[in-house]
Structure 1
Amino acid sequence: MDILIYLLIGLITGYVGGYAGIGGGPFIVAALVLFAGLTQLQAQGSMLAIMMGPMSFLGVLSLKQEVKALLPSIIIGVVSYCIFSYLGAVFAFYIGEMDMRLYFAILLIFLGVLQLKNFSFISSKSSPKKKIAHGWIFLLGAITGIFGGLFGIGAGVLMVPVLIQFFTMDKNYARALSLAILLPPVSLGGFLKYNAEMPVNWTLVICVFLGYFIANHFGAKAGNLSSNTNFKRYYAFLLFALSLVYLVVLV
């Protein structure tokens, strides 16, 4: 029964992650806590272990033209994310289990607001960009690496809305950058810290990874067909709904 639950979590979050281009980390962490009985820190460590595999490979394939155009930026993002994820993991164990649950829920609310908010300094008439400066990519990789290690999530949950809102990046290019950064084992630094504190359940990790891997491609295909407006609305709704459940049940 546990194996079926793990597979189902992987299938559902894989589709959602591919659709939004976010790697599915927040959804997997919450599902492991809510339905698989893991503690917050155990779920976050498991998520970082899942990310060690090429979980976004099929999603990247569906965006291969965009990935090819962004290759230098992807390399920079991978390096900076991997370096700073360990630092985030150290912070997570310093904060502790119960406070991490509350901060995780707050993070989801913040990301939902970020996805919907229209920033006044961004012109509604701005043309979507396909690339941004490499210095910004390194900074984004570092920030998301810290957040990744702290909350056990991937780059996209923060990077995609920032790229779209602050840098007016085309949504498919933002999703491609995020998914491609997640393809190598960028969570290695954070994983080493979590696994040293509480070894992961590798049966769970493999089952969730397989389910995610299968469904991610179909979610990414659906995301390609979604308009920018619908993309933001669906993404924000999922984050708000998840944060509400988290607050009511766990905090």
Structure 2
Amino acid sequence: MTVTQLLLLAIIGLMAGVFSGTFGVGGAIIVIPSLVFFLGLSQHQAQGTSLAFMIPPVTLMAALNYSKNGYVNWKFAIVLAIMFVVGTYFGSILSVSIPEKILKKMFGGLLLLVALKIIFSK
């Protein structure tokens, strides 16, 4: 790992954390495109790397801050967490079987759909 790569990773990680804590979005929205565009990882590598650092302690501090202010429905969060674990297992099996070019388009399409929904919702 070069110094430049280390600095880029530090900036990407910091920005993903700020966005995640501020907007409640998964860091993958920032991390995956950044790893692909700025560090040259393949789509598969970027997604795998993103998942590798998204362990529970990463978001714990933000969740505690939201919880202290009454903004966490813990019953919902527990069910979501359990099913998220199951879903990521099966999703990763599917993802590694999809060709790189198609996977990248699928990811971009998902980001576009989410953005349009947010922009045009009332």
The bucket for the TM-score relative to the shorter chain is: 0.7 to 0.9
What is the alpha-carbon distance in structure 1 between the residues aligned to residue 81 and residue 16 of structure 2?
Answer: 22
Number of residue-to-residue matches in the alignment: 118
Q: What is the aligned partner in structure 1 of residue 50 from structure 2?
A: 47
What is the alpha-carbon distance in structure 1 between the residues aligned to residue 97 and residue 48 of structure 2?
Answer: 15
What is the alpha-carbon distance in structure 2 between the residues aligned to residue 35 and residue 53 of structure 1?
Answer: 26
What is the alpha-carbon distance in structure 2 between the residues aligned to residue 84 and residue 29 of structure 1?
Answer: 19
How do 1:22-37 and structure 2 match up within 5 A? 22-37=25-40
What whole-Å deviation, never above 9, does each CA across 1:174-196 have from its counterpart, x for those lacking one? xxxxxxxxxxxxxxxxxxxxxxx
Q: What is the aligned partner in structure 2 of residue 10 from structure 1?
A: 13
What is the alpha-carbon distance in structure 2 between the residues aligned to residue 51 and residue 108 of structure 1?
Answer: 19
Q: Percent sequence identity over matched residues?
A: 27
Normalized against structure 2, the TM-score is what?
0.87
Larger Rg computed on CA atoms: 1
Q: What is the aligned partner in structure 1 of residue 99 from structure 2?
A: 96
What is the alpha-carbon distance in structure 1 between the residues aligned to residue 90 and residue 65 of structure 2?
Answer: 32
After TM superposition, where is structure 1 displaced by more than 4 Å over at least 4 residues in a row?
none
Normalized against structure 1, the TM-score is what?
0.44
Specify every segment of 5 or more residues in structure 1 that has no aligned partner in the other structure, as ranges. 120-251
Specify every segment of 5 or more residues in structure 2 that has no aligned partner in the other structure, as ranges. none
Structure showing the higher helix proportion among its residues? 2
What is the alpha-carbon distance in structure 1 between the residues aligned to residue 16 and residue 86 of structure 2?
Answer: 26
What is the alpha-carbon distance in structure 1 between the residues aligned to residue 15 and residue 54 of structure 2?
Answer: 16
Q: What letter corresponds to residue 112 of structure 2 in structure 1?
A: I
Q: 2:87 aligns with which of 84, 88, 93?
A: 84
Task: Give the alignment's Cα RMSD to 1 decimal.
Answer: 1.6
- Any idea what SS the aligned residue of 1:22 has? coil
Q: What letter corresponds to residue 55 of structure 2 in structure 1?
A: M
What is the alpha-carbon distance in structure 2 between the residues aligned to residue 91 and residue 61 of structure 1?
Answer: 33
How do 1:196-235 and structure 2 match up within 5 A? none
Q: 1:108 aligns with which of 106, 111, 117?
A: 111
What whole-Å deviation, never above 9, does each CA across 1:78-110 have from its counterpart, x for those lacking one? 111111211111111221211111111111110
